[in-house]
Chain A
Amino acid sequence: MNALDYAVLLISLLSIAAYGVWQTRGKRSLTTYLKGSGNSSWIVIGISVMATQASAVTFLSTPGQGFESGLGFVQNYFGAPFALIIIAAIFLPLFRRLNVYTAYEFLGKRFDAKTRLLGAGLFLLQRGLGAGITIYAPAIVLSTVFGWPLDFTIIASGLVVIVYTVAGGSDAVSLTQKYQIAVIFAGMIAAFVVLIWKLPRDLGLADAMTVAGGLNRLNAVDFSPNLSSRYTFWSGTIGGLFLALSYFGTDQSQVQRYLSSGSLRESRLGLMFNAIFKIPMQFGILLLGTMMFVFYQFEQPPVYFNQAAWTERAASGDAGEFRRIESEFAGVHARKREQIDRWIRAKRDGDSREADRARSLAQQLQQQSEEIRNQAKAMIPQANPSGDEAGRAKPVSDADYVFITFILGYLPHGLIGLLVAAFFAATLSSKSAELNALASTTTIDVYRNLISRRGSDSQYVFASRAFTVLWGAIAISFALFARLAENLIQALNIIGSVFYGPVLALFLVAFFLKWIGGTAIFWAAIAAQLLVIALYFTLDISYLWYNFIGPGACILLAIAIQSVLPRETKPANSQTA
């Protein structure tokens, strides 16, 4: 990075943050701090919902997924449009009618205090864990770009997020998110344009897509009923529906976003905006990775993208073996490029037999290339099996380094700064919303509910700021261990899938099974959560299915438990759905 990159990075990020703080100065009531001033339009709500979900992990890790395995990951989002319709039609009117700060307040009004605490506790647990991973992603960028130690980078970027969030509050989060998403899209579109421009001159976009398709990177939809396949149409639509229903409908970081509007109409339109554009957006990010894959068919890629780890291991281990792998990989790559050139030429000449032969050879060489890359990946832990000085395993997910390696190697100065700013903007936007939600839930559902019922507004705002700092510190601690996880975006979804199911069941029972009381659903949720954790460690099925198994088991258990319990009568002052 040069001075121009630093200027782009600092000006874009600091001006947005300063704007958010300036616009929300003097707003210090609890309602404004946690829910915003209530005048957000549908487009602000829509962008805010989108920016909260799309963290730096989305923009850093997803192109790597597209590079490694093609477009299949887009199926993960197939359930989202249906989930958002259900939330807009059923969840949203009830949340608004009860005028709640948090989604878990609703559980308290419908069931009882212990069920409210259980819902809030599960949210705090899984979101606190996930928060660590979203700090880890930009830390990779920084440690690669600046050569700083990863632990230091995690702590430094985490502190920036904490300061920004404590100063901001909900209104500042929404206000800044629309400018942050503009920086993010500007960066991603610029990277895409440069990538296409850097392809060989005689290779058209259609040829590039043909190469991607011929080497199995365009298979986006898999209709096979295989339960162990991670991404299929069925796991994405059914499991993804429950995952999205849990995330958008019961996760306070999202509920807080769409409750910040003054009217039901604006909130609904904001959700529908996401229902329409979520799939194309994810497709676009994956396609960027797929085009990077095509680009690296014509440029020699490193055998292992995390070059810092590769060089370090090569120096400390058997250097000859590392060089042998690099040399073998380069040889296979050169032969593969010859076959791809032959394939494209034959295709243009209309010689389909020659094109098929060349494509088949290119596919075989691609398989060999992937096998060598797998050997290279295996070399990293082998070179230092006991991990680092602290005894931890070093990162093994090379896919997360693919995009940043391309950015640093091929983008012009200025755009490098814009892309790094985009990663930071994504971190700030999602992290500030997450910390704001964690602090709101702790303040409203724990502190105000259990510890200080008659406090003043300023006392609760102070508590909310203090909890923001506390959750930020916890997120940093988890981020220091996130390197143990596989591909970051998957790790985030796996954590969500394990914990979201029972929380979703609490809300589904609250909405649709009104004869079930708090005691039955409380114990059913605890049993279902333990069951999902046990199944996760014993079964070999796509994690998306836990989003279906969790609520299914919880609802069945709640019905069974309620059938042997006496009907509960709600206190006269309680409100129900």
Chain B
Amino acid sequence: MSTPSNENQVGATQDDSATGLPLFRNWRAVYLFVTACFALWVVLLALLPRVFA
């Protein structure tokens, strides 16, 4: 049987592991999204001088 203190800790852990974002259930998905954004920025920046050469 868990003590109130333990229950609070479990609650806090569950609260922290949920992202609270509609499309991202866990933090790994958020980190992947950030990495994809980075790749997109780099591709767009690399293309910029070619588009306006």
Q: Which residues of A contact B (CB under 8 A)?
A: 71, 74, 78, 81-82, 84-85, 88-89, 93, 206, 209-210, 212-214, 218-221, 233, 263-265, 268-269, 272, 275-276, 279-280, 283
Chain A residue at minimum C-beta to C-beta distance from B43: A221
Contacts of B31 in A (CB 8 A): 85, 88-89, 272
A88 to B31, CA, bound (A): 9
Interface string of B9-20 (1 = CB under 8 A from A): 000100110111
- A272: contacting residue among B16, B30, B52, CB under 8 A: B30
**Knowing A263-B15, A280-B41 touch, does A81 contact B35 (C-beta < 8 A)?**
yes
Chain A residue at minimum C-beta to C-beta distance from B49: A218
A542 to B45, CA, bound (A): 21
- B27: contacting residue among A78, A88, A212, A263, CB under 8 A: A88
A209 to B20, CA, bound (A): 40
Interface size, B (range): 20 to 34
User: Are A81 and B34 within 8 A (Cβ)?
Assistant: yes
Ordered by A's residue number, 11 sampled pairs between the chains whose C-beta atoms are within 8 Å are: A78-B38, A81-B34, A88-B27, A89-B31, A212-B52, A214-B52, A220-B45, A268-B27, A269-B19, A272-B34, A279-B38
The B interface is mostly helix, strand or loop, or mixed, namely helix
User: Are B49 and A213 within 8 A (Cβ)?
Assistant: yes
User: Are A213 and B52 within 8 A (Cβ)?
Assistant: yes
Chain A residue at minimum C-beta to C-beta distance from B39: A81
- A283: contacting residue among B19, B34, B35, B45, CB under 8 A: B45
User: Are A220 and B37 within 8 A (Cβ)?
Assistant: no
- Judge if B23 is at the interface, Cβ distance under 8 Å: no
- Closest 6 CB pairs between A and B? A213-B52, A220-B45, A264-B16, A209-B52, A218-B49, A221-B46
- A220: contacting residue among B30, B35, B48, CB under 8 A: B48
Contacts of B27 in A (CB 8 A): 88-89, 268
Contacts of A265 in B (CB 8 A): 15-16, 18-20
A48 to B39, CA, bound (A): 25
A84 to B15, CA, bound (A): 21
Contacts of A85 in B (CB 8 A): 31, 34-35
User: Are B42 and A78 within 8 A (Cβ)?
Assistant: yes
- Judge if B1 is at the interface, Cβ distance under 8 Å: no
Contacts of B45 in A (CB 8 A): 71, 74, 220-221, 283
